[in-house]
Structure 1
Amino acid sequence: MTTVKHWAALAVVLALAGCASKSGDCDATNRDASMLTKMNCDYSGGYSEQVKQKEQALTASRQENAMFRQVYDNIAAQQTSTRQDLASQQQAQASLNQSLGQLLKSLKARHGNESQVQRQIAGLEQQLKSAQAKTASNTPAALTAKQEELKALQKKVNQLQFSLGYE
């Protein structure tokens, strides 16, 4: 009789082990999952893994959002500096180039497989290279052109930010 109980207990353990869930299969929002599946996901760490992944995505999104803000600040500084001397313009341009370059590098790494994002990134990179290639001039026409170029750059960065779901 005891061996029958042992075999029955072993069969139950094997049956439960066969129901093991992968961390990718665990979805805390799935209300249709059985109690056994939920317990298994909790025990196996599936829910914890899902929370970690979402926290990592949130952290990355916050960092990218901060980079967007830095780019906007640098664009504003560049717009202000177009009214100032050449050295200030070059310094503001260097800051803008650096922050935009970092943002584009981060976005390529995280969203490089999305064709729409790739096109937007390529357009921004082209505009960045074009801006770097131009020589600075303090003529009123050059300053006006620079202001218009910065407005266009700001619009493109805005479009990219909204297409990625940032606000």
Structure 2
Amino acid sequence: MKFNKIYLAVGLLSSVLLSGCATDVKDCDPNSGDVSIVTKFNCQYSGTYQKRIDDKKIILENETALNAEFKATMAELEKEIAAQRADLNQANSTNSALKAKLNQLLATLKAKTTDNAQIQASINAIQDEIENANPNASVIEKQIKLEELRSKLSSLEADLGLAS
């Protein structure tokens, strides 16, 4: 009888151990729920837990490298945006200065030509163009328009013999 019990215990133990050898990677997921002690032992013994840890480390390293690339790209984009803003601010200040000079020139021409109605009409037309300029136009369009108006004023000034 003792002999049968030993065979029974050995058979039972071997079946438990052999059933544990048939563990799947999904069975070794610690998040999968209640896992038996035999399955945990087999996962540890077969190296499945360590392989899972190594795989997660590789994924983490790849994601970290990708994140660093994204941060570097973002920094470059922010530098580019800052440079473009500086260029835009410079162009806006140049356009504002040009517009101020045009208005000053218009005022001077108006003061010097108060007796000539045709010149006054031309000056008023140019002044209307300045005031009615499209505020939503691009900086380059504004600059081109202001340069055209400046050219008109300069030619008007030259026609009057007022050019300095």
The answer to whether TM tops 0.5 is no
Higher relative contact order, chain-length normalized (CA < 8 Å, sep 6+): 1
Give TM-score scaled by structure 1 length. 0.42
- The structure with the larger Rg is 2
